[in-house]
Amino acid sequence: MTLSNRSPSDRPPRVLALGAAACGLAMIAGVPLGGAAATSVGCLSLLVFGLPHGTLDLELIKARSRGPWTGLAGLLVLYLGCAALILALWQVAPVLALGAFIVTATVHFSEDWDGTGARFLELGVALGLLCAPTLIHRDAMARIFVGLTGQAQGSMIADLMFLVMPVALVVALVAVAALWSSGRRSRAIAATLSLASMVLLPPIVGFALYFCLFHSPRHFRESLSALHWLGFARWGWVVVPLTGAAGLIALSLFGMEIRPALPERIMAASFMTLSILTVPHMLVPLLVEALARRGTPVATRDAAIALGQHPRAALAD
């Protein structure tokens, strides 16, 4: 089945625009958006508004898959196995875990910008978004990474992102122009707002705006569209319990944290939770595809494409 050029996500980014405007006015009014309170609220927002968009992963695979491994138990083994490996990496080599998370996030966020005409440009927008804060807030990024990893070497990742940032931003701007010229003007506006927020706002707040007000709602709508699930009564029974389970993971990580400052504990637990859930979100479809190629009746290639790229892609011929 071929979809129209307008997907469920191709709509004016009004909520993102309102959020960016509100944060801009708050900065003008002197609200300390880089302070401990704003940082904690931003991190908690990542969990409350960001986690639900990944809760439909299992349903997307099961809806288009066949074989014993596509049952709930088999998929949970794959997901929990990947999550456990990432958690172990955070404990053993946190700087490496952070680097792996940033690479994974770049690939994942690039899915928001299809329509540029080139995979390189899609990746450029994603990398530009992640590196953009180092243009003005390089020291803040270094402090965040040191806080996340608990190691001074965490600042090296911020330094590397600062070096990559100029090229990434240029590629991102070219991608915005490509989106505009291809008719994806809502997407181009969203990219512009997201980039501006990541450059001008404190890093945690800027990232929370993009993640909570554009990325997560977009993927959630596409997942519901792919599953043909309309109304809370249809999807609430899946999304609410799994979001709660993800929240318990965050609470557990928060309890494990030994950092004395509450904002740093919240920040570390939030981003560790995101990485622990994002990596399986990206890797499990690839594992499914690899097992299918080896002749294991795990899932169809469409399921891997649906989850690894875009849910709507699985509906195309």
53 is in an annotated binding site: yes
pTM across the whole model:
0.84
Distance between the two ends of the chain, CA-based, in angstroms?
A: 5
Domain ranges of the chain: 14-315
What distance in Å separates the CA atoms of residue 28 and residue 71, rounded to the nearest whole number?
Answer: 52
List pLDDT tens digits, range 123-143: 999 999 999 999 999 999 999
SS3 20: helix
310 is in an annotated binding site: no
SS3 11: coil
Q: Is the pLDDT of residue 37 over 50?
A: yes
List pLDDT tens digits, range 49-88: 888 888 887 787 776 655 555 566 777 888 889 899 999 9
Q: Is the pLDDT of residue 288 over 90?
A: no
pLDDT at position 267: 87
42-46 own/partner pairs: CB under 8 Å, 24+ apart: 42/204, 42/205, 42/207, 42/208, 43/204, 43/208, 43/263, 43/266, 43/267, 43/269, 43/270, 43/271, 44/266, 44/270, 45/208, 45/212, 46/207, 46/208, 46/211, 46/212, 46/270, 46/271, 46/274
For 269, phi then psi, to 5°, come to: -65, -40
137 is in an annotated binding site: no
pLDDT at position 144: 93
215 is in an annotated binding site: yes
